[in-house]
Structure 1
Amino acid sequence: MSVTSSQNPGARTESRSSLLTTRPVWLVGLLATLAGAVLTEAFALLMRAAGVPMEAASPGAKEAAEIPVGGFFGGVVFWSVLGIVLAMALARWAKRPARTFIVTTVALTFLSLAGPAVAPHTATSTQIVLAVSHVVAAAVIIPLLALRLSHVRR
């Protein structure tokens, strides 16, 4: 007598996906933010270890200031709160929340690249790391929230 198991290998993937698509938008946003912030901070630490100077200046500043360890993490969390609020508003009022979220956040990410590009008293290598860090955070957070928004029920 033989016993056969009918495990579906796709079921595990499906259950992970459903974890993202059935949770509240704010919770998916929080989890996406934490993942994006950790990955972005790890990228910054790797670049710091590679010798990229982590000093940048805001427009109008007379000199660059040290970007502290944890600064990238904090920046991602700060700006992602606005993204989560946007996602929640779109989930409630937008006709196509996922598409609207993607278009809006990709445009905002593109606009955010102007900050590092015009940062005075900042090494070019640091400007590049700052710009790439914006893309890293967006590449993690935007797809996860968009996936959740694609399952909003009307």
Structure 2
Amino acid sequence: MNDTAVGAGRRRGLLGTGLLATLAAVVATTLAAALAQAMGVDFEIPDGGEAIPLPGFAVVTGFFSVVGIVIAAALRRWSARPAERFVWTAVSLTVVSLVPPLLSGANTAAVTALVALHLVPAAVIIPALARSLRAAGRR
């Protein structure tokens, strides 16, 4: 197999894994948000006055999951240790993403749910992409 075919296989592997993980993260996050709403959590942010709609969780999760795939692909191309760099980068960005809910002024239940809803997709996406990057490095 030539280098071009190997490179294409790695891209498909990372992309395929990333898209499947994105789908899983979107479903898990949306279900968790629906469960939180069913338990009485309102996702109303005091300054905005509007509640975060359930589809909003899916859209934001999908968008930032795709951003994670792009970061993973860039690190695979330009880093000597892409899996390790990806984990550090993704965990750091996840921690930064926890700041807005903590500063939102929402009630304790909403803040707790929002923090959890940041951690749910991270728990799905980060390990999946890290595994894919490690597997690509062994080929």
TM score, norm. by length of structure 2: 0.86
Identical-residue share of aligned pairs (%)? 43
Q: Which stretch of the first structure deviates more once superposed, 137-146 or 73-82? A: 73-82
Three-state SS of the structure 2 residue aligned to 1:24 is helix
| Residue aligning to 1:117 | 102
Give the superposition deviation at 1:78: 1.2
- Unpaired stretches in structure 2, ≥5 consecutive residues: 1-9
Instruction: Write out per-residue CA displacement over residues 110-150 of structure 1, whole angstroms, 9 at most, x where no aligned residue.
Output: 11110100013x22211111111111110011000000000
CA distance in 1, matches of 2:122, 2:36: 18
| Residue aligning to 2:63 | 78
1:42 maps to which of 14, 31, 36: 31
* Residue 74 (structure 2) pairs with residue 89 (structure 1): yes
Larger Rg: 1
What one-letter code is carried by the residue in structure 2 that aligns with 1:31? L
What one-letter code is carried by the residue in structure 2 that aligns with 1:138? A
8 Å CA contact 1:32–1:141 kept in 2: the answer is yes
Give the superposition deviation at 1:65: 1.0
CA distance in 2, matches of 1:22, 1:113: 30
CA distance in 1, matches of 2:58, 2:133: 24
CA distance in 2, matches of 1:119, 1:63: 10
| Residue aligning to 1:67 | 52
- Unpaired stretches in structure 1, ≥5 consecutive residues: 1-20
| Residue aligning to 2:22 | 33
Instruction: Write out per-residue CA displacement over residues 44-78 of structure 1, whole angstroms, 9 at most, x where no aligned residue.
Output: 00010000112125xxxx44311112111111011
The count of corresponding residues between Structure 1 and Structure 2 is 129
| Residue aligning to 2:93 | 108
TM score, norm. by length of structure 1: 0.78
* Residue 130 (structure 2) pairs with residue 141 (structure 1): no
